Amino acid sequence: MTPNAPTPPAANFIHQIIDEDNASGKHGGRVQTRFPPEPNGYLHIGHAKSICLNFGTALKYGGKCNLRFDDTNPVKEDIEYIESIQEDVRWLGFQWDGLYYASDYFEQLYEWAVQLVKKGKAYVCDLSAEEVSKTRGTLTKPGTESPYRNRSVEENLDLFQRMKAGEFPDGARTLRAKIDMASNNINLRDPVMYRILHATHPHVGDKWCIYTMYDWAHGQSDSIEKITHSICTLEFEIHRPLYDWFIQELGIFAPRQIEFARLNLTYTVMSKRRLLELVKNQYVHGWSDPRMPTIRGLRRRGYTPEAIRAFCERIGVARNDSTIEMVWLEDALREDLNKRAERRMAVLKPLKVVLTNYPDGQTEELEAINNPEDEKAGTRKAPFSKVLYIERDDFMENPPKKYFRLGPGREVRLRYAYFIKCVEAIKDASGEITELHCTYDPATRGGNAPDGRKVQGTIHWVSAAHAISAEVRLYDHLFVKPDADDVPEGQDWRANLNPNSLQVVTDAKLEPSLKDVKIGDKVQFERLGYFCVDEDSKPEALVFNRAVTLKDTWAKEQKKG
Ligand code: ATP
Ligand code: MG
């Protein structure tokens, strides 16, 4: 499938703000955004929303978007994540203008911190982390001032310099902004700017033993890059006054922070901490497990960048938190693959069918349509012979009403082939059906009867002599509850994990045209769903993932159960 390029997103409230700024000539019409991941995990579908928004906005306004690693916490960060994030952003179809690291700004941030100390706007505090948090007060009670708050500028400069030089152990001192311990906004109660941490950083190595806190690094990094609109999720709204305070005190370029609602999805979790736990405790097979909401999990599952972008576009950008139904994501993939994936026949639970009146040793090549949605996809030949496989579920010995498939004495259409009629079901000693004996009607070649007789069901099949075997992995929701975090009293969130989220079919039978598929190829197995060739696949041992069923079967199953 040829990739499609991203298109500019529809207008949203952020674009209204940008339009106003452009109208007032605030930045001379310049639009500069950034996507600022912390390299402490793999990107997930929530990040995709932020990526589409930031890169899409730049695309819409002919602006620029940077990729910036917000790498201020060396303990949790890793080069592995730095690389995977770049790969995932590119895979989604976006290319950044500048690639930056907050850690590249450490020197500048340090100088700016010294500037604030000199202005009497920051001080070195000897309280422990615990004491700082105890004296911060609550929503209803003001905090208490640190006994170190009124140190002289000289003493502060000396101590801060010595913090940087490595003279003190981890946690011994912090640098705090001197704002207002009685502020209604707890973030303004003398927030910590630097802490001492003797750790090796994945990008700048051992150069630093003081590390900045998020709030001190983020806005200043935005300012250095001349970001015009700093788009972030709602939990940072309450940090905005601090964001603006730092910028104002320094008198540097002022980006505008705008918050939007983060994406939550049903039947999954999205916090990196939880995803890491799933990986570490082997509830899933790594970050790229096709059940994970990570970009690499979705990619391996069979998701396309086009489907993910269409999903992000469809859910829109709002200012209120909400949870999106997983079926929206699945529908976006169905729609994309319906247009672009070729159809093939595959049987997951094979039942042998012998056509008693079909000539021994004969093979025919029947014409099959590759994609009814796309004429250009053309046709292929599907071999047909005396012994076939059909889906075990397509036969019932005592079919109920409304079951239109095969049963004793019943006639159905084999897709692209003939009408067949079931004469006898052969059973083994235990009573299990081992094969069906059927007759075929040679006059119905191609799927229609010249006498105008109708059949109600059409089923798929593969020729036994020509079939290739494959492993097929059937995935379902990772959690059994829409709200994965909703657990009974006294149990943790893992109680909601779906024990049947992966079922493996070891000996599916596929039509032979599938023998040359490559890792990542996507096809529709007729009547079953969309499937993607897994990275474990080898030419002699194919492995497919079910990306998504043709319809939302989950809702139906839940009602039944
Ligand atoms: P952490 O769990 O480490 O706090 P995070 O989810 O905040 O991680 P970051 O790497 O800091 O992840 O996120 C990078 C960007 O992606 C941020 O701008 C963040 O607001 C955005 N983002 C993260 N999760 C979501 C989400 N679920 N929906 C929309 N945007 C998100
Ligand atoms: Mg974060």
Over residues 58-88, the pLDDT tens digits come to 999 999 999 999 999 999 999 999 999 999 9
Q: Which ligand is in closest contact with the Cα of 49?
A: 1
In the chain, the largest separation of any two C-alpha atoms, in whole Å, equals: 102
Rounded to whole angstroms, the Cα distance separating 57 from 543 reads 39
pTM of the model: 0.95
Over residues 537-552, the pLDDT tens digits come to 999 999 999 999 998 7
Rounded to whole angstroms, the Cα distance separating 155 from 163 reads 12
Pairing mode, strands 379-384 and 346-347:
unpaired
Please work out whether the CB of residue 271 comes within 6 Å of at least one atom of ligand 1.
yes
Question: Which residue, by CA, sits nearest to atom 26 of ligand 1?
Answer: 46
State the amino acid at position 410 in one-letter form. Answer: R
Over residues 422-445, the pLDDT tens digits come to 999 999 999 999 999 999 999 999
Fold of 342-560: Ribosomal Protein L25; Chain P (2.40.240)
- Looking at the DSSP assignment, which residues form a beta bridge with residue 347? 509
Q: How many CB atoms lie within 10 A of CB 23?
A: 9
Cβ(48)–Cβ(15) below 8 Å = no
Over residues 250-265, the pLDDT tens digits come to 999 999 999 999 999 9
Please work out whether the CB of residue 50 comes within 6 Å of at least one atom of ligand 1.
yes
Compute the distance from residue 54 Cα to the ligand 1 centre, in Å: 13
Rounded to whole angstroms, the Cα distance separating 180 from 559 reads 56
Question: Which residue, by CA, sits nearest to atom 27 of ligand 1?
Answer: 46
Rounded to whole angstroms, the Cα distance separating 422 from 407 reads 6
Run of H or E including 411: strand 411-414
Run of H or E including 497: none
Indicate whether 153 pLDDT > 60: yes
SS3 342: strand
Q: Which ligand is in closest contact with the Cα of 69?
A: 1
Compute the distance from residue 192 Cα to the ligand 2 centre, in Å: 17
Rounded to whole angstroms, the Cα distance separating 98 from 86 reads 12
Indicate whether 240 pLDDT > 60: yes
Rounded to whole angstroms, the Cα distance separating 310 from 334 reads 11
Question: Which residue, by CA, sits nearest to atom 13 of ligand 1?
Answer: 37
* Angle, in degrees to the nearest 10, between helices 305-315 and 326-340: 130
Rounded to whole angstroms, the Cα distance separating 235 from 521 reads 39
Cβ(85)–Cβ(69) below 8 Å = yes
Long-range contacts made by residues 408-411, C-beta under 8 angstroms, separation at least 24? 411/455
Question: Which residue, by CA, sits nearest to atom 14 of ligand 1?
Answer: 37
Q: Give 28's Cβ-side CA count (13 Å radius).
A: 1
Indicate whether 535 pLDDT > 90: yes
- How confident is the model at residue 486, as a pLDDT? 85
Rounded to whole angstroms, the Cα distance separating 67 from 82 reads 11
**Domain-by-domain residue ranges, the chain?**
342-560
Q: Which ligand is in closest contact with the Cα of 295?
A: 1
Tokens of 531: 């499937």
Q: Would you call 38 a catalytic residue per the annotation?
A: yes
Indicate whether 481 pLDDT > 50: yes
Indicate whether 271 pLDDT > 60: yes
Query: What is the number of residues in the chain?
Result: 561
Binned at pLDDT 50, 70 and 90, residue 303 comes out as very high
Cβ(471)–Cβ(544) below 8 Å = yes
Q: Would you call 272 a catalytic residue per the annotation?
A: yes
- How confident is the model at residue 561, as a pLDDT? 44
Compute the distance from residue 509 Cα to the ligand 1 centre, in Å: 42
